[in-house]
């Protein structure tokens, strides 16, 4: 099953504000500015023509009576985790796909409830709505890719919110749909398929794989075989990947953080303040994961998009580290060496070539390392308990600092 929460952010807000239940509502990035972006629109708002990702001013022009609510990302995360726990009470095989979508494998659970997959989906749907006020839609199939397309193309349009897509009857269902409705076929890829004479999902599925590869080679070049097979498998509903609860819990290859600045930073001292804040974030994440990095990378993007400037460079440190001050010294070397002096709008830093932090080489020239590590373990514990703003560096209180503002946000949106 692919379970999808309808207009998730808006549904959470409506559940907690019954007075808005019968009114068109959107969650927008910045309700104070009409240029803010619509993050979620409830069904009543969509009936008025309001669309997700459009500018708030455009949405309000279509629907002057629109209720606009500022996003509360921490609340949405909490509700999403609560819904996940509900799913886990029905099956231990739950794989998050996004904050509002999850895959469930109920193959081994059906006999416990003595019902059909549709009946079990209805049971879960009712349970979630009673517990959170959020309405969920379900796509049911024998593979993840078909469950996803069943939900997107049928479940979301079904009065029950539940649809089973049988692999044995694709020619009468999925294959009749336009190729634009195929998973991972965006507007550009749709135009390419149309130009190749493949207007429907079925036309892609029925094309022999060898011929489709040949057609895509002519269109995109020699290295398109993998892409051709990907789309051919999607169209045919072929997906061998199981539902893995720990699919996102893998050891990272690198840990990084990037930030778009609220204004152009034109002085080295200003850029260094943000670089230090980002270095602290990256090192804090590394410590939480139990890793140290050997290679530090710094990225700066210029403010003038018409004349791109900036740099992206990396350097190997003498020893792997996750101590903020040590990594920051190396990051400053990269910044001072490669910054061209032009205004900067985006700054990023990452650590790669990660190694476990249980063992590391002691150095006669770095006798304070243990002291710094103990200090940072203490500040990490404080931030976990009381929030990132409980203790910050003095430079973050200057005009260039962004740590205080960032501590009130998740993913760029207010908590």
Residues 218 and 263 in one domain: no
Phi, psi of 255 (to 5 degrees): -130, 125
Q: Is residue 138 part of a domain?
A: no
Question: Would you state the structure tokens that stand for residue 376, as one six-digit string?
Answer: 């940072």
Q: Is residue 155 part of a domain?
A: no
Q: Is residue 315 part of a domain?
A: yes
Q: Is residue 100 part of a domain?
A: no
Identify the three-state secondary structure at position 141: coil
Residues 264 and 407 in one domain: yes
What is the tally of structural domains in the chain? Answer: 3
Residues 326 and 280 in one domain: yes
Q: Is residue 124 part of a domain?
A: no
Residues 213 and 263 in one domain: no
Q: Is residue 78 part of a domain?
A: no
- Each of the 415 residues of the chain gets a pLDDT tens digit; together they read 999 999 999 999 999 999 999 999 999 976 665 558 899 999 999 999 999 989 998 999 999 999 999 899 989 999 999 999 999 999 999 999 999 999 999 999 999 999 999 999 999 999 999 999 999 999 999 999 999 999 999 999 999 999 999 999 999 999 999 999 999 999 999 999 999 999 999 999 999 999 999 999 998 888 899 999 999 999 999 999 999 997 766 678 899 999 989 899 999 999 999 999 999 999 999 999 999 999 999 999 998 767 778 999 999 998 899 999 999 999 999 999 999 999 999 999 999 999 998 876 666 666 677 788 889 999 999 988 888 889 989 999 999 998 888 887 776 666 6
Q: Is residue 125 part of a domain?
A: no
Catalytic residue among 13, 95, 101, 270: 101
Residues 222 and 302 in one domain: no
Q: What DSSP assignment string belongs to 176-226?
A: GSBGGGSTT--HHHHHHHHHTT--BHHHHHHS-HHHHHHHHHHHH-GGGHH
Q: Is residue 116 part of a domain?
A: no
Residues 408 and 261 in one domain: yes
* Residue in the block written with tokens 């999902």: 201
Residues 276 and 366 in one domain: yes
> Do the Cβ atoms of 329 and 347 come closer than 8 Å?
no
Catalytic residue check, 101:
yes
CATH number at residue 344: 3.30.1490.100
Residue 340: give the domain boundaries: 254-414
Nearest CA to 325 out of 260, 397, 256, 393 is that of 393
């Amino acid at each position: 099953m692919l379970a999808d929460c309808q207009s998730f952010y808006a549904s959470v807000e409506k559940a907690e504000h019954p007075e808005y239940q019968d009114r068109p509502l959107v969650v927008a990035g910045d309700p104070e500015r009409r240029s803010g972006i619509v993050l979620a629109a409830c069904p009543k708002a969509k009936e008025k023509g309001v669309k997700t990702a459009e500018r708030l001013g455009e949405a309000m022009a279509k629907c002057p009576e629109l209720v606009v609510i500022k996003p509360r990302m921490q609340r949405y995360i909490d509700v999403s985790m609560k819904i996940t726990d509900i799913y886990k009470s029905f099956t231990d095989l739950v794989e998050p796909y996004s904050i509002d979508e999850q895959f469930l494998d109920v193959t081994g659970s059906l006999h416990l409830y003595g019902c059909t997959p549709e009946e079990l989906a209805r049971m879960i749907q009712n349970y979630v709505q009673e517990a959170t006020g959020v309405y969920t839609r379900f796509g049911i199939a024998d593979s993840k890719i078909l469950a996803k397309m069943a939900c997107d193309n049928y479940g979301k349009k079904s009065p029950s919110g539940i649809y089973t897509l049988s692999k044995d009857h694709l020619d009468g269902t999925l294959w009749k749909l336009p190729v634009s409705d195929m998973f991972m076929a965006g507007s550009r890829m749709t135009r390419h398929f149309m130009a190749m004479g493949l207007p429907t999902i079925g036309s892609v599925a029925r094309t022999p794989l060898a011929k489709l590869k040949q057609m895509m080679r002519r269109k995109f070049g020699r290295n398109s075989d993998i892409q051709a097979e990907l789309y051919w498998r999607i169209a045919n509903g072929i997906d061998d990947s199981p539902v893995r609860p720990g699919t996102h819990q893998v050891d990272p290859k690198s840990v990084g953080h990037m930030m778009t600045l609220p204004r152009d930073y034109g002085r080295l001292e200003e850029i260094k303040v943000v670089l230090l804040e980002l270095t602290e974030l990256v090192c804090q994440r590394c410590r939480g994961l139990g890793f140290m990095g050997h290679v530090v990378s710094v990225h700066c993007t210029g403010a003038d998009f018409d004349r791109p400037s900036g740099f992206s460079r990396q350097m190997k440190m003498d020893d792997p580290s996750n101590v903020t001050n040590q990594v920051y010294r190396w990051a400053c070397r990269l910044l001072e060496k490669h910054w061209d002096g032009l205004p900067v709008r985006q700054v990023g830093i990452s650590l790669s070539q990660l190694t476990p932090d249980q063992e590391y080489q002691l150095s006669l020239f770095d006798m304070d390392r243990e002291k710094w590590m103990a200090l940072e373990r203490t500040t990490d514990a404080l931030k976990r308990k009381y929030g990132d703003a409980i203790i910050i560096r003095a430079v973050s209180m200057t005009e260039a600092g962004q740590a205080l503002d960032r501590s009130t946000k998740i993913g760029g949106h207010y908590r």
